[in-house]
Structure 1
Amino acid sequence: MGKLTDTAKGLGNEIAGNAKQAAGDARNDPAQKAEGAAQERKGELQQAAGKVKGALGDRI
């Protein structure tokens, strides 16, 4: 995947993770909140990978 793809998927995962965390808070559901936190971290890592690929010219 390229820089733009990683960054876009990362942003999507981060947004979805935040929504799941909010829903978990509203429903008092710790499992859903934890799932949302994990998805948010995944998104952050995908965005970081996109930045690295951008800096290296998609050579990785």
Structure 2
Amino acid sequence: MDSERHWIRFDELNRFTWPGYDLRPKPDGTYQYGMLPRGLFEALRNGIVEVHRARRAQLVPRDE
């Protein structure tokens, strides 16, 4: 990610094949570039669970 502002939506979950056509592996052949900070991961998980329980989540197909 760059230094620009980014948004996370809990009610719209992308569904796609991993790794996708638009991802390029690192020189060692992996796709992992690091870990999410624990607080961010927990906020993501909790937000997604809350929206799912309220039946407001939708899956959006992103494969082309």
User: Could you tell me the TM-score, scaled by structure 1's length?
Assistant: 0.35
Larger radius of gyration: 2
Which structure has greater strand proportion?
Answer: 2
User: Could you tell me the TM-score, scaled by structure 2's length?
Assistant: 0.33
> Which structure is richer in relative contact order (CA contacts within 8 A, separation 6 or more)?
2
Which structure has greater helix proportion?
Answer: 1
